Amino acid sequence: MATGRAIIQVDPSGENSIFLFPGANHSFDAKDAHKAFAQCNEGDWLLLTNETTGVADAIIQARKCGLQILWNPAPMTANMIASKNPLDLVDVLVLNESELLELARQFEGIDVSKCDSNDYFNIARQLMTFLGSRTIIVTLGSVGSIGLVRRLCNNTHEIPISSNATGQEGAAESAENHDSIVEIRMECAPVKKEQIKDTTAAGDTWVGYFAAELAQLQSESPESIESLATITPAMVEHAMRFATYASGISVSRFGAVPSIPLRAQVDTFIKTNILP
């Protein structure tokens, strides 16, 4: 079977459109998932997109093996719920704004007819309630990104997170009684419009760096002694910032893989706010 291909067009402003030919990507099944997880350890991460078949089987088997699951369901389909994808087993769900709205439309009771940047938190919170998700991230392009994290009641080691009382970047816990969901707002990296060359790899760079940083923070956390699956708001906020700056570098370069920055370049960008 032919290998999957992606044909990418980029306009002068750096925005892209992608034509996908799935090929062998649509040949995966439960046997492939079982084989892939044979060498995994409890607490390892499974990163998934929606470009292959067998996603539901992979999620179910990964959970049985004790893996943590991050799913970026792109490209989004109109039958995510009807196809019985086990979204309730996903630890971290990463969506862009259009994917958030498309997924929300598949649940009765979530109104997305009137939506602006202030409503994304509300829609994501409703999704979190329906799905029982631990963490939902929504990337919003030039607006930045938001995150919702379910705080663990027995979390005693978490480091402080920045205040969001003034609506600025950072995280804040809802004032509602017994509400254990923390909201995080992250601004874009300091990349000027004229510096943007190609957005093709922006999303994948964001997700990859977010997952890598989150896994690293978990391994260094005091909670990891008791549970490899601890995800705190502070971890998510830190990983979101790192991913944001990595993605900022990516859009300032041409290409997909060639645009993905090195870790040292991201560190420098965060410290200096100057593109490498």
Query: Which of the four pLDDT bands, split at 50, 70 and 90, describes residue 131?
Result: confident
Q: Is the pLDDT of residue 55 over 60?
A: yes
pLDDT at 22: 76
Q: How many domains does the chain have?
A: 1
Is residue 24 one of the residues assigned to a domain? no
What are 165-180's pLDDT values in tens digits?
323 455 554 434 345 8
Is residue 18 one of the residues assigned to a domain? no
Is residue 236 one of the residues assigned to a domain? yes
Is residue 87 one of the residues assigned to a domain? yes
pLDDT at 117: 55
- In SS3 terms, the chain reads as CCCCEEEEEECCCCCEEEEEECHHHHHCCHHHHHHHHHHCCCCCEEEECCCCCCHHHHHHHHHHCCCEEEECCCCCCCCCCCCCCCHHHCCEEEEEHHHHHHHHHCCCCCCCCCCCCCCHHHHHHHHHHHHCCCEEEEECHHHCEEEEEECCCCCCCCCCCCCCCCCCCEEEECCCCCCCEEEEEECCCCCCHHHCCCCCCHHHHHHHHHHHHHHHHHHHCHHHHCCCCCCCHHHHHHHHHHHHHHHHHHHCCCCCHHHCCCHHHHHHHHHHCCCC
Most distant CA atoms of the chain, gap in Å: 55
Is residue 115 one of the residues assigned to a domain? yes
What are 37-47's pLDDT values in tens digits?
888 988 899 99
| ∠ CA 218-221-225, rounded to 5° | 95
For range 249-261, the mean pLDDT: 94
Are 235 and 216 within 8 A, CB to CB? no
pTM of the model: 0.84
What are 83-103's pLDDT values in tens digits?
677 888 999 999 998 889 888
Other CB atoms within a 10 A radius of the CB of residue 61 amount to: 19
Collect all residues with Cβ–Cβ distance below 8 Å to 19 and sequence separation of at least 6: 6, 7, 8, 9
For residue 257, what are the domain limits? Answer: 29-272
pLDDT at 223: 60
Residues facing residue 93 across a β-bridge: 71, 136
What are 195-215's pLDDT values in tens digits?
999 998 999 999 999 999 999
Is residue 12 one of the residues assigned to a domain? no
Are 78 and 50 within 8 A, CB to CB? no
For range 62-75, the mean pLDDT: 91
Are 86 and 116 within 8 A, CB to CB? no
For range 126-136, the mean pLDDT: 88
Is residue 188 one of the residues assigned to a domain? yes
Is residue 8 one of the residues assigned to a domain? no
pLDDT at 21: 74
CATH number, residue 126 = 3.40.1190.20
Lowest mean pLDDT among 23-27, 62-66, 120-124, 208-212: 23-27
Other CB atoms within a 10 A radius of the CB of residue 115 amount to: 15
Q: Is the pLDDT of residue 157 over 70?
A: no
